[in-house]
Amino acid sequence: MSIANKLNLIKNTLDNSITLVAVSKTKPNTSILEAYNAGQRIFGENKVQELAQKAEQLPEDIQWHMIGHLQSNKVKFIAPFVSLIHGVDSLKLLKEINKRAEQNNRSIDCLLQVHIATESTKFGFGINEVESALSEAKQFENIKIVGLMGMATFTEDTKQVTQEFKSLKTVFDTIKNDTITTLCMGMSGDYKLAIEQGSTMVRVGSAIFGNRN
Ligand SMILES: *Cc1c(COP(=O)(O)O)cnc(C)c1O
């Protein structure tokens, strides 16, 4: 099946209120353009250099999301154009994003990453740290925290995955307001479960573009 077909099949199952981020990491520009020509405008990448390069080469109306772990010393390369930074997991990073946003005369939308998986390798604030991170973030005038993101444990155990998504939704419900409107959870393997648990934004890669090598 073509990329356009796979994209449309997924889009048809999604409610209009759900934002689809097409995760194009490792995929060539030709694949991204296929999705673009089928109407997709939001793409996610997890490597700064790849993201910056693709943004330069591809149509200007693409909204680029940085979805991976972001190192402070690389923020400057994406600050001029990035549309949403998903994986904000420290105040140090927030501070750097704020500084670079200010230098570019703009405000940058961010999601706080929250650690919901049992795996210790996943980055993020603890559930109990979200509220204090949010209040600290208020001092940064060139950052807008628009929501939360989380990744579930990589497991076939749908009960566990559901439980982890539920825990993030619970935190989200306590902080959501006119600005904090995005709950980003769910990837190719678990986006349906995530939506059932209240996700408003899903990050789907391989189900659109095929497996990555
Ligand atoms: C790669 C990646 C995705 C997409 O994964 P798929 O399983 O291919 O849909 C989603 N979120 C993050 C943070 C990723 O790094």
Q: Which atom of ligand 1 is nearest to the CA of 25?
A: 1
C-alpha separations of 10 from 6, 16, 202, 208 in Å = 6, 12, 11, 8
| pLDDT number for residue 123 | 82
pLDDT-based confidence at residue 118 (cuts at 50, 70, 90): confident
**CA angle at 8 for the pair 6 and 13, rounded to the nearest 5°:** 100
Domains defined along the chain, listed by start: 3-208 (3.20.20.10)
pLDDT in tens, 87-112: 999 999 999 999 999 999 999 999 99
Q: 70 C-alpha vs ligand 1 centroid, how far in Å? A: 15
pLDDT digits over 167-197, tens only? 999 999 999 999 999 999 999 999 999 999 9
Distance 69 CA to ligand 1 centre (A): 12
Ligand 1, atom nearest to 188 Cα: 9
pLDDT more than 90, % of the chain: 96
44 Cα: distance to centroid of ligand 1 (angstroms): 9
Q: Is the pLDDT of residue 34 over 90?
A: yes
Q: How far is CA 200 from CA 19, 36, 146, 147, 190, in A?
A: 6, 21, 12, 10, 14
What lines the ligand 1 site, CB under 6 Å? 23, 25, 46, 67-68, 187-189, 203-207
Predicted pLDDT of residue 121: 64
Which residue has better confidence, 163 or 120? 163
DSSP conformation class of 21: E
Q: What is the pLDDT of residues 41-62, one digit of tens each?
A: 999 999 999 999 999 999 999 9
pLDDT at position 119: 76
Give just the sign of the alpha carbon dihedral 78, 74, 181, 205: positive
Please state whether beta strands 182-185 and 19-23 pair in parallel, antiparallel, or not at all (unpaired): unpaired
